[in-house]
Structure 1
Amino acid sequence: MAPDVLSRRTILFVNIAHALDHFVLLIYPTAVLAMAPELGLTYAALIGLSTGTFVAFGLFSLPMGWLAERWGRRTLLAAFFGGCGLSLLGLAAASAPVVIAGWLLVLGLFSAIYHPIGSAMLVSHARRLGRDLGWNGVWGNLGAGLASGVTALTAAWLGWRVAFAVPGLVCLAAGAAFLALVPADGEGHGRAKDGAPTIPVANPLRLLAIFAVAIVAGGMTFNVTTIALPKVLDERLGMALPLVLTGSLATLVFVFGALTQLLMGRLVDRFALPVVFAGLALLQPVGLGLAAASTGFPLLVGLVLAMAAIYGQVVVNDAMVARYVPPRLRAKAFSVRYFLGFTTSGLAVPLIALLHGWGGFQAVLGVSALFGALVSASAAGFFLATSGGTACAGQAPAE
């Protein structure tokens, strides 16, 4: 197969996998609104069952870069499609809390494959790093956004079990198509340029420490906001909306994040990454702080700002790994990057339950704003660290 054809197909399925990864992880937070009355459990009890999902999502991302060297990235991405599909079918048939928790744990394990492996594949096959990362982010964000609306609509009309079963079948079908149409990992046209150009830095350990803080804090804001969003809108919007409208409104909020990721992709190709990082990070504490202090329309505006910043940050973070890490280490670097972000943010679910029981979603959003402020401070530190002796890092050639 010609390298260009292989690259186009690989990027297509990496994008599909990104959409499905976020979709399948966010089915449950909306489905619990329909599951609670049928199973006779509270929201807090049901949402707590998904703790293992998000812990596994981060924990099992760490070894993926090493497993890719042994089994190949194509094999692991195929396992992602198949494992997520089977997990969702298991959830569709589950009733007991322990069984639900078990299948959610398995779902977290297989969903952990995508980000380290898919990101490394995308960087290797990308023609223009920022543009392709931006579109990949859009696919993931639309998957997250559609999860709330589609799950709410399906659960209201056909039942929550169908809301798990149909995406499960889609995952299995996508996996079969991937194996048929992408015959090998390949190198693609991106490898001819060594993928993204590597930017030299004078003090990599200091930059790594600053970036690690941003990843951990950003992981908390990402997971707390995306998991809690349907229930936040349900409780604090000030309207008695049915489940379908609540899910649809959550989808619209996610769409704004998708648009931001397209913008971030363009900015990454045109401007220095530390500048883009610092500017975008300011929106997180502003948006989350506004949402925590308000209800109704101002709440919605705050959530839109926060979601735009949170999802735009994903593009910036991946671009930073691609630009600052040598090609031979990128798969492992993506594994560590997502391990830090997702494992720590696995605490998001019990944190939501704890804070919601203590002070409602005002407390949940307020604490999220503090994490957002930490991201902003880290971005400022990264900018200052690269504006001196590492000024050469500021000008990355566009691809």
Structure 2
Amino acid sequence: MDHSKKIVNYINIAHFIDHYAMLIFAAAVIVIAPTFHMSYGDLLPYATPGFIAFGAGSLLSGWLGDKWSRRNMIGIFFIGMGLALVGIAFIHTPMQLGVMLFAVGVVASIYHPVGTAMLVSNVDKLGKELGINGMWGNFGVASSALVTGVINQYFGWRAAFWLPGSLVLVIGLMFLYDIPKSADKVSKKSAAGTARVPKSVMAWVVASLVITIIASSITFNSVTVALPKIFQERLSALTSNTAVLGAITFLVYLFGSVSQYVIGNLLDKHSLKSVFLPLALVVVPALFLASTMTDYGLILLTIVIIVAVFGQVTVNDTMLGKYTVDEWRGRAYSARFFLGFTAAGLSVGLVSILYNQGGFDLMLKSIAGLGFITILGALIFPREKDHIS
């Protein structure tokens, strides 16, 4: 196996770990809180600094990856994450927990700007590989609550941190052994510089990217945050069983994960705009219709919405990969994820405000209105010249 393939495999595993690790506490907090004689609501805020660091830290991480070493930064990610997770197993006060969760967030911030840039530099079929990489991240999200719940039940909450932490440390040592320092050199297979548009319209590329990242990130996070509660309210005629509702939610997300692979392959065969615009167009009417829908109709519409918004993530990352030179790619991705995670963070408050004012009817219609901004971003995006299918 050549080094490029090994690098891609490790980067995919790192994406899984990144999202898995960030959500362990969300699943374990219900068990941890009573041990400190605290309520769920009292202990949950201790995770806030870590989530802020997850987004804000990406700016420094991307810069270090470009100026120093992406290979070493990913090595720090693996080893640092392993140590931080194992460290949480030894905390004794809420303040110690908050400090260690902050450490997890700082280390987690390394992955997206550095890992994505490293992936792009080692693949030839950019869309396909970014789609596969997105699936690994989504599997990390989906499995974290499930696996953490099982470990909590049978081994205790401390094991929910030190078991995966120990495994991550082993993977980190394997990465440093398998991947040489020469991996920082740009691979000949790199998908860098494959985009072909006149320099005169690059301003439109940048404008489209910024508009799309902000609008689609708010849409993505608003829908994913609200979906479990939407199903609880709107599927009551079908079932009130929380396990069944959880299974339906997982199924919908599964469609989203698969869509990233499909969209990624389409991006390798067709121009960005020809994939970008239909995805943007389908979200608005689907959200409007879903605002008043219930039961099976709602499930079908949410599948359409999730497929489109998950697919948009792959489009955003592919756009950036194609239109940035390798020396700047880490910094470009750091700006992308800083913008995206900041916008996504704002969406939690947005969902709460809109829901309190008019329920999910108002919330979904408002997010649909926001979708017009993504359509604008797709419309102003220039067509590539001489696209090779």
Shorter chain as normaliser: what TM range? 0.7 to 0.9
Distance 1:245 1:33 in 2: 21
The sequence identity of aligned pairs, in percent, is: 36
Distance 2:289 2:32 in 1: 31
Distance 2:153 2:379 in 1: 45
Asked if 1:11 is matched to 2:2, the reply is no
Q: What is the root-mean-square deviation of aligned Cα atoms in Å? A: 3.2
Change over 3 Å in CA distance of 1:192–1:295 after alignment to 2: closer
Shifted more, 141-150 versus 332-341: the winner is: 141-150
For residues 281-316 of structure 1, the C-alpha deviation after alignment (integer angstroms, 9 at most, x for no partner) is 233334444444344434433332222222211211
5+ residue gaps, structure 1, are none
Change over 3 Å in CA distance of 1:305–1:85 after alignment to 2: farther
Distance 2:90 2:353 in 1: 29
Partner SS, residue 169 of structure 1: helix
Partner of 2:300: 301
Change over 3 Å in CA distance of 1:192–1:131 after alignment to 2: closer
Distance 1:41 1:121 in 2: 42
Partner of 1:124: 121
AA aligned to 1:132 is: E
Partner SS, residue 58 of structure 2: coil
Distance 2:261 2:136 in 1: 10
5+ residue gaps, structure 2, are none
Distance 2:313 2:17 in 1: 16
Change over 3 Å in CA distance of 1:172–1:354 after alignment to 2: farther
* Aligned mate of 1:145, from 138, 142, 164: 142
* Aligned mate of 1:174, from 154, 171, 190: 171
Shifted more, 107-116 versus 298-307: the winner is: 298-307
Partner of 2:72: 75
Superposed displacement of residue 358, structure 1? 5.3
Superposed displacement of residue 362, structure 1? 5.4
Partner of 1:380: 379
Partner SS, residue 183 of structure 2: coil
Distance 1:109 1:94 in 2: 18
Distance 2:93 2:360 in 1: 28
AA aligned to 1:380 is: L
Distance 2:289 2:33 in 1: 30
Partner SS, residue 282 of structure 1: helix
Partner of 1:323: 322
For residues 33-66 of structure 1, the C-alpha deviation after alignment (integer angstroms, 9 at most, x for no partner) is 66677765355x5555444333322211112232
Partner of 1:113: 110
Partner of 1:240: 240
Partner of 2:21: 24
Would the aligned equivalents of 2:113 and 2:330 in 1 still touch at CA under 8 Å?
Answer: yes
Shifted more, 17-26 versus 50-59: the winner is: 50-59
Would the aligned equivalents of 2:192 and 2:326 in 1 still touch at CA under 8 Å?
Answer: yes
Partner of 1:272: 271
Asked if 1:396 is matched to 2:387, the reply is yes
Shifted more, 178-187 versus 158-167: the winner is: 158-167
Change over 3 Å in CA distance of 1:312–1:190 after alignment to 2: farther
Superposed displacement of residue 207, structure 1? 2.6
Partner of 1:332: 331
Would the aligned equivalents of 2:29 and 2:43 in 1 still touch at CA under 8 Å?
Answer: yes
* Aligned mate of 1:222, from 220, 223, 226: 220
Superposed displacement of residue 14, structure 1? 0.5
Superposed displacement of residue 125, structure 1? 0.7
Partner of 2:311: 312
Aligned length: 385
Change over 3 Å in CA distance of 1:107–1:185 after alignment to 2: farther
Would the aligned equivalents of 2:85 and 2:165 in 1 still touch at CA under 8 Å?
Answer: yes
Change over 3 Å in CA distance of 1:192–1:267 after alignment to 2: closer
Superposed displacement of residue 153, structure 1? 4.1
For residues 138-187 of structure 1, the C-alpha deviation after alignment (integer angstroms, 9 at most, x for no partner) is 21222222234334444455555444443333322221221121122526
